[in-house]
Copies of this chain bind each other. A is one copy, B any other.
Amino acid sequence: MTLDALPPPQEALAARYGAGPAPAPGPWNETIALMLAHRSVRAYVPGPLPEGLLETLLAAGQSAATSSNMQSWSVVAVADPAQKARLAALSQDQAYVRDCALFLCFVADTSRARRLAAREGLELPSLACLETFLTAATDCAFAAQNMALAAESLGLGCCYIGALRNRPEAVAAELGLPEGAAPVFGLCIGHEDPARITAVKPRLPQSVVLHHGRYDADDADAVAAYDATLAAHGHGTGRSSKAWAARVHDRLSNPAYLNGRERLREALGALGFPLR
């Protein structure tokens, strides 16, 4: 992505909502334009990353909010081709995990607090609570989103990898994670293949996602219209034109389709998260 090529508001909003209704342009600046231009990049070409990139991205990630300043997340950065290939194999053989320049593994990390408590002879029974895992997972996501956007602001492409949860114990072993640390998702970072640039993916109409004061569940027509929006987008890009309803059904109709993630609770328990 070239920053000086960021589209103006009306064009950016039209791309983000496709054939569906887009809001009128409101306040705008380069940061917002950059967010609107996001695309998940799944095709990378080799090339060096800027010096100091990882440290800058990490500073951006650490600058995000973190629940009660617990900072219960870590990131394991993987640049070695052989290790990336092993992690790709553990993540549903997604080639972009192997092909990206830098693969970041985001870790819900209560092991730091455990080590601290062990050194001081303290007990931390709340580590067993679901709440503690959830704040660690959202800490990961707040930080990662800053890091992804920071990478995009530097002209790089990104793609989150939920498949890092397909085999959590094996990933934890690969990364040498201590007890109380579990992989939550990955993030590919690298140079987008200029021959395989994709289009911005349209999202649900705002009326479906945004509620004023009280949740409004009357969304049947808008969701049906989004089916047509996504199908039109698919035809335009030559990629799958499957409607949203069919995608939701494919994803959720059978736990076995979750590729291992249907046993996430058991896996997290084995990694030190009882989730009580």
Contact = CB atoms under 8 A, between A and B. Distances in A.
A235 interface: no
B148 A149 contact: no
Interface string A22-43: 1111111111101111101000
A130 B123 CA distance: 27
A63 to B, nearest CB: 5
Interface residues of A, number: 132
Contacts of A223: 112, 115-116
Contact of A116 (B66, B200, B245): B245
Nearest to A25: B52
Interface string A207-247: 01111111101011001000000000000000000001101
15 contacts: A23-B59, A24-B52, A24-B55, A26-B56, A27-B50, A38-B63, A55-B210, A70-B248, A71-B209, A77-B213, A78-B213, A116-B245, A131-B258, A137-B137, A142-B160
Given A63-B38, A262-B131, A210 B56 contact: no
A50 B27 CA distance: 7
A113 interface: yes
A1 interface: no
Interface of A: 3, 13, 16-17, 22-32, 34-38, 40, 50-56, 58-60, 62-71, 73-80, 83, 107, 111-113, 115-117, 119-120, 122-127, 129-132, 134-135, 137-138, 140-142, 144-146, 148-150, 153-154, 158-160, 162, 165, 175-178, 181, 184-185, 200-201, 203-204, 206, 208-215, 217, 219-220, 223, 244-245, 247-249, 251-255, 257-258, 261-262, 264-265, 268, 275-276
